[in-house]
Amino acid sequence: MKSIATITRTKEIMERHQLSFKKSLGQNFLIDVNILEKIVSKAGIDDETVVIEVGPGIGALTEQLAKKAEHVYAFEIDGRLIDVLEDTMSPYPQVTVIHQDILEVDLNTFIAEHVPEGKKVKVVANLPYYITTPILMKLLSSQLPIESITVMMQKEVAARMAAAPNSKDYGSLSIAVQYYTESDVIMTVPKTCFVPQPNVDSAILQLYVRSQPYVSVKDEALYFELVQASFGQRRKTLRNNLKRAFKDLDAAELDQVFAESNIDGTRRGESLTLEEFGYLSDVMSLYVK
């Protein structure tokens, strides 16, 4: 039988189940087997890997994952697709479909209960665009025992996540992602590879989860608060952005923070590396109440 990720099979499945695409759930299904094979191979899926998939849709990527992985747990929010997946995944007993919103799942508990110790766990997904960032932030900040995350997303968002300092794409999202992972844009994918076609092109981002965050800081919440504040108004200097955000620090204290962390307050947030934000936040933690 033809792969699910073909226009003929996708149309046939949709018609047989009298389904329409739900735009509000980010339903753009992949219809290019080559791209899917590339995702699976770049993700390094083998018969020792347990995969967590977000949003299987009608099973285009799930099918390719099932051919290589030990097991695939696929979380789908749309109840209409659960019956469809029961049908399309029937040749693949190594797939378990779970009808749940991924943002509601306690993945640490799920992994502890379902994955035998010593097995590799990887996340692979063609993410719904409307919640790409919340899903990734949840996966990263939960400190899951996973090796990597290989995900398709809007090209511009992937560029922001992987951006280096002093580039226009660098911002608080780049720092949040790189704090937890080493990131790499593998390839861009044109919108013609999906049905229905989205308005924008996509990219596949590979994230290797670090065993420890990239920088070790005294107060993680303050680190991220500082990063957020530093990009508050991109054209403003660090000093001005921080003055606005940390009102309980007076000008002299702020000068002291810059001096002790060896960071020039006239720089812009976009020029600071993750380590430099670390120095700044560690010194700041001594001053903020």
- Residue set of the binding site for S-adenosyl-L-methionine: 28, 30, 55, 76, 101, 126
Bridge partners (DSSP) of residue 124 are: 53, 150
Cα gap 118→113, rounded to integer Å: 13
Which residue's CB is nearer to ligand SAM, number 5 or number 254? 5
Q: Which stretch binds ligand SAM (CB under 6 A): 74-82, 106-114, 233-241, 271-279?
A: 74-82
Q: How far is the CB of 82 from ligand SAM (least distance, A)?
A: 11
Q: Which stretch binds ligand SAM (CB under 6 A): 11-19, 49-57, 162-170, 275-283?
A: 49-57
Read out DSSP for 169-217? Answer: T-SHHHHHHHHHEEEEEEEEE-GGGEES--SS-EEEEEEEEPSS-SS--
Residues 80-119 that bind ligand SAM (CB under 6 A): 81, 101-103
Number of other CB atoms surrounding residue 242 within 10 Å: 22
Closest CA to 254 of 244, 266, 268, 243: 243
One residue of 76, 88, 180, 242 binding ligand SAM per CB under 6 A: 76
One residue of 35, 52, 72, 77 binding ligand SAM per CB under 6 A: 77
One residue of 13, 30, 159, 249 binding ligand SAM per CB under 6 A: 30
Helices 274-284 and 220-230 sit at what angle, rounded to 10 degrees?
A: 110
Bridge partners (DSSP) of residue 181 are: 209
Please tell me whether residue 26 binds ligand SAM under the rule CB under 6 A: yes
Phi-psi region of 166 (alpha: psi -120 to 50; beta: other; left: phi over 0): left
Please tell me whether residue 60 binds ligand SAM under the rule CB under 6 A: yes
Q: In the bound complex, which residue of the shown chain has the CB atom lying closest to ligand SAM?
A: 55
Closest CA to 146 of 64, 53, 37, 60: 53
Residues engaged in binding ligand SAM (CB under 6 A): 25-30, 54-57, 60-61, 75-78, 81, 101-103, 126, 128, 131
